[in-house]
Amino acid sequence: MRKGFGMNAKQTRLVCIVAVAIVFMILFPPYDIYMFSYPGAEYHHDFGYAFIARLPEKGSVQARINTPALCIQIACFLVVGGMLWFEFRKR
């Protein structure tokens, strides 16, 4: 291991916070609902966030995880976490 490669206390806390936040983002992803009124017609609406094991249900409405939004959230969080990690390094 290279000398000076370890993390200081602030960086360690930051990594733990980022990891826990990403786990919660995955456990409670954003959902969209799709309603089909007649063949070829689709209604799309943001449904909010819900626990991943329980898909939101409203009658005959189909709920799907909004994967692009989830990926963007995780990517932005990783970018901000990475910037803070470099800011917290020893000088």
Higher pLDDT, 16 or 64: 16
pLDDT-based confidence at residue 62 (cuts at 50, 70, 90): confident
Domain count of the fold of the chain? 1
> What residues make up the domain containing 56?
9-87
Q: What is the mean pLDDT of residues 74-78?
A: 96
Helix (H) or strand (E) holding 49: strand 43-49
Give domain status of residue 4, yes or no. no
Judge if pTM exceeds 0.95.
Answer: no
pLDDT of residue 24: 96
pLDDT-based confidence at residue 1 (cuts at 50, 70, 90): very low
Give domain status of residue 2, yes or no. no
Give domain status of residue 3, yes or no. no
50/65 Cα distance (integer angstroms): 9
